[in-house]
Structure 1
Amino acid sequence: MGTFSGGKRILLLAGDYVEDYEIMVPFQALQMVGHVVHAVCPDKSRGDSVITAVHDFEGAQTYSEKPGHKFALNETFDSVDAKTYDALVIPGGRAPEYLRRNAAVLELVSHFVKSDKPTAVICHGAQLLAAVDGALKGRRVTAYPACKPEAVLAGAEFVDADDNIPETVVVDGNLVTAAAWPAHPAWLAAFLVVLGTKVVHESAQKTLR
C-alpha cells in the first residue's frame, strides 16, 4: 500500500500532435500520487481534445511517427493563472514546434522559469524553453538529440545521450529534462523528488489463523 503526501497543483502544456506517451503517462501518474494536474492548450477549452502522435525508435536515422489517441483537456487555457500553479510539465512531440510561436504560451512558461518553480520537460519540449528569453542560459539539460542546436544556441550546457539515447535524464535545480518517453520512470521519479513528493510503502501484514 502507498501513502502520498505533499500534493501540488501542476500545469501540463499540451498541443495538437503532442507525443502520446509523453502527455498521457505524466498526466495519469502525477494524479496517481495525489497531485492535481490541469492539461491545457491555447485556443481550446475544458472538454476539448488534442490529437496525439506516437513517436518511436525503429532503427531509422530519426524517429517514426504514427497516429495516437485523442487526449481530452481538463482545463481552459484562457482561464489559467500561472501564479496559482506549483509546477509545470512540458511534453514533447510536434506540439512545441508551433506552441513556441504563441506569445501567451511563452509568457506562461516564462513565469515558471523566473519563479524557479519545478519544471519537467521531455523530448522536443526543450524547443519551448529555448524560445523563452534566458530560460536555458547556463542550464544543464538534455532533450531529443535533434533539439541540441537550439538548446546550445539558447545558452544551455547540453548533455548528450549515451547508447541508451531515449533514457537520458538530467536534473538542474528545479528543472528536470529527459530525452524521450523511454526515460519516463527516471524522469518522473526525479520530478517527484524536486516536487517534494514522498511515497511511502507499507508492508501488508497477514495474520495466520
Structure 2
Amino acid sequence: MSKKVLIVTGDAVEALEVFYPYYRCLEEGIEAEIAAPKQKKLNTVIHDFEDWDTYTEKRGYGIESHLAFEDVKVEKYDALIIPGGRAPEHIRMHEPLLKIVTHFFETDKPIAIMCHGSLLLTPIADVVKGRKMTAYHACKPEVESMGAEYINEMDYVDKNLISGHAWPDLPAIMREFMKQVKQAPVTS
C-alpha cells in the first residue's frame, strides 16, 4: 500500500508551493490529493522577489482540487502539506479544515508548512504552542502570538513539523518531508 499526502489550500495559493510538492509526491510514488473549500479549479498566484521592499504577485496557472475540506477522511492520509500564498488567510475560516489540521498535529504525522501557511494555524494556535518554526518574515508576529518560537532560518525542522520561509526553500523542505513520510507507518 502506498503513502498518501493531503495538500490543503484554496484560491491565491502560491503556485510553486502547491505544484512543486504535489508533483514531488507523485514522482516518489506517493499519492497526493488537494483539498480546498470546494472541489474546483483553483487560481494560483506567483510571488517574486524583485526590486520592491516586499514580494510582487502575478496570476499563475490553475490547478484542480480533488475534494472539499468537508469530504476529507483524515485517517486515510499519512502526511499534510500547507502551502502559502494568500490562501491560508481565507481558508482558515473553514471549520472542517481546522479539524483536519489539528488531527495531523495530534497524531504526529509529518506536516510541511511553507511561507504564509503559518497563518492557517492562528485559529488553532494551541497546536503549535511551545513549538519552533519558521515562516515568511512578515508572519513572525503571528507565529509568536500563537506561542511558537519564530526561528529566523530559511527552513526548520521541529520533530514532525517542517517549516520554510518561502518557495526558494522548497528543496530543503521537501527533502526532509519526503524522508519523514517514507519513515512513517502507512495509515491509508
- TM category (shorter chain) comes to over 0.9
What's 1:111 paired with?
103
Distance 1:88 1:80 in 2: 12
Distance 2:76 2:24 in 1: 21
Output the amino acid matched with 1:129. Answer: L
Match for 2:54 among 49, 59, 62?
62
Residue 136 (str. 1) matches residue 128 (str. 2)? yes
Length-normalised TM-score, structure 1? 0.84
What's 1:3 paired with?
none
SS in structure 2 at match of 1:134 = helix
Distance 1:142 1:79 in 2: 30
Output the amino acid matched with 2:176. Answer: A
Between structures 1 and 2, the one with greater helix share: 2
Distance 1:188 1:97 in 2: 23
Output the amino acid matched with 2:106. Answer: K
What's 2:3 paired with?
8
CA contact (8 A) 1:169 1:179 kept: yes
Residue 96 (str. 1) matches residue 88 (str. 2)? yes
Output the amino acid matched with 1:194. Answer: Q
Residue 150 (str. 1) matches residue 142 (str. 2)? yes
Offset from partner CA, 1:64-85 (integer Å, 9 cap, x none): 1001111112234332111211
CA contact (8 A) 1:13 1:89 kept: yes
What's 1:122 paired with?
114
Distance 2:52 2:131 in 1: 30
Worse overlay, 88-97 or 66-75: 66-75
What's 1:196 paired with?
182
Match for 2:64 among 58, 69, 72?
72
Distance 1:153 1:120 in 2: 20
Distance 1:79 1:86 in 2: 17
Q: Percent identity?
A: 40
SS in structure 1 at match of 2:128 = coil
Match for 2:167 among 170, 181, 187?
181
What's 1:37 paired with?
32
Output the amino acid matched with 1:33. Answer: E
Distance 1:149 1:7 in 2: 38
Match for 2:12 among 17, 29, 32?
17
Distance 1:138 1:194 in 2: 21
Length-normalised TM-score, structure 2? 0.93
SS in structure 2 at match of 1:171 = strand
Output the amino acid matched with 1:189. Answer: R
Output the amino acid matched with 1:124. Answer: H
Q: Gaps (5+ residues) in structure 2?
A: 184-188
* Structure index of larger Rg: 1
Offset from partner CA, 1:2-39 (integer Å, 9 cap, x none): xxxx8411100020000011001100011100101010
CA contact (8 A) 2:69 2:96 kept: no
Distance 1:106 1:88 in 2: 13
